[in-house]
């Protein structure tokens, strides 16, 4: 089991969250074996978010992060700049 932590800045957190919760985003996460998700809003900047995804494998987590469709969908949802991906192994 692996996790990926994604940190982003958004133009508008509420608008981004609607897209994140949408069917298209959920289908993409399922395509890469996402088992669970958690979303955190930065306490000092409400337009920054951290997403923690539990994935079936590290390979699938990396493939998810490198999918060009993910980047395109993030831009459409209002993500500003490049997201930060951190890959974590559960011990």
The per-residue pLDDT for range 4-40, each reduced to its tens digit, is 999 999 999 999 999 999 999 999 999 999 999 999 9
H-helix or E-strand containing 6?
strand 2-10
Question: Phi/psi at 54 (nearest 5 deg)?
Answer: -90, 125
The CATH code that applies to domain 2-89 is: 3.30.70.100
What whole-number distance in Å separates Cα of residue 44 and Cα of residue 3? 24
Question: Phi/psi at 44 (nearest 5 deg)?
Answer: -100, -15
Each domain of the chain, given as residue ranges in start order, spans 2-89
Tokens 């469709």, residue located = 69
pTM given for the model:
0.93
């Amino acid at each position: 089991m692996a996790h990926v932590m994604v940190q982003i800045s958004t133009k508008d957190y509420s608008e981004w969250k609607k897209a994140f919760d949408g069917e298209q985003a959920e289908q993409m996460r399922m395509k890469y074996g996402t088992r669970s998700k958690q979303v955190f809003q930065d306490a000092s900047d409400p337009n920054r978010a951290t997403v923690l995804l539990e994935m079936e494998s590290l390979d699938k987590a990396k493939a998810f992060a490198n999918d060009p469709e993910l980047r395109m969908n993030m831009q459409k949802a209002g993500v500003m700049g490049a997201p930060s991906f951190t890959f974590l192994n559960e011990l």
